[in-house]
Amino acid sequence: MSTTQRYAKAESASWAGLWGNMLLALFKGVIGWLSGSKALLADAFRSAAEVAAAIAAISGLRASRQRKLEQANSAAETEDLRGEAATTILLSVVLLIIGIEIGISAIRDIAAGVTTAPHWSSAVVIVLSLIVQQLFFADKDRMSSLYCSAAALVGASGAIIGKLFTIPALYYFDPAAAFIIAIIVVMNGYRMATVLIRKDSRLTAWDENPDELMQLVQRVEGVITVQSLKAKEHGHYVIADMVISVNPRISVLEGQEIAKRVKQLVMKRFIHVTDVSIYVEPYDPGYPYKSNHDPNQEQMPTLLQ
């Protein structure tokens, strides 16, 4: 699969996530309002926050693809990164505000006393949304969505059971579940903000198994070492930058061929990687130079010889 096709696939997946979460948020919001379920309403707001995340992912993918096509200079790239950072900050603030508002509303309901339970349709909608999320949404989004929807299901179902068996104390399950969802949303927003603050560079460390990737790349003929490996997430996909060292005695064309083989191997092995930028640098630990493709190369002549 070519880089262009991978970008198209990643953007298509982000658009699918955007529209899927938008429809889920609308559906859950309407049913939550009509059924009187605070937990379902909270889960609807959480899905709406995922829509904002999908928009940020699409923006990041398009910016990365544009930089790749135009080979933008460092000033333009820095400007794009500032825009992405601003988008991330805005999204984290939105998540924090939504979570705090949901939590405050849940606390007020609990303090005022809960005298009614939501309609049974709220539990049905939560189950349906759980099925849709698990079948059609990306793996990385499943856990957070699963926790929120599971909390909503327990809260709404508990309140409905309380109504069936005339146990008013169980009515509090519904706003309590909304409060739990609020905590999860706030934690997601806080995590996004702290990750951005802690990392000065535009790239995050590779979150796969680094040893596995290092061994994979260093098996490529001509690669001596992997000097650095950084990656940035765009929604469900990853764009990576890698610096490899090669024998400085080879030609520029040979170095480019090695980089091409590395890129093809990484993108084939890690299917969620949308693109990899390979930077080739000469390996210079001192003379004589060594290369991993010739195990008998013990004492190669130096350039001065």
pLDDT in tens, 32-57: 999 999 999 999 988 887 776 677 66
Give Cα separations from 260 to 5, 223, 253, 264, 275 (angstroms).
17, 11, 10, 6, 12
SS3 294: coil
Answer whether residue 199 shows pLDDT above 80. no
pLDDT in tens, 249-289: 899 899 999 999 998 888 888 776 777 889 999 987 655 55
Would you kindly state where each structural domain of the chain is located, as residue ranges?
3-198, 204-282
Answer whether residue 123 shows pLDDT above 80. yes
| DSSP assigned state of 219 | T
Q: Give mean pLDDT, residues 135-151.
A: 73
Contacts of 77 (CB under 8 A, 6+ apart): 67
pTM for this one? 0.61
CATH code 3.40.50.300 for 204-282:
no
**Tokens standing for residue 252:** 């520029």
pLDDT range class, residue 142, cuts 50, 70, 90: low
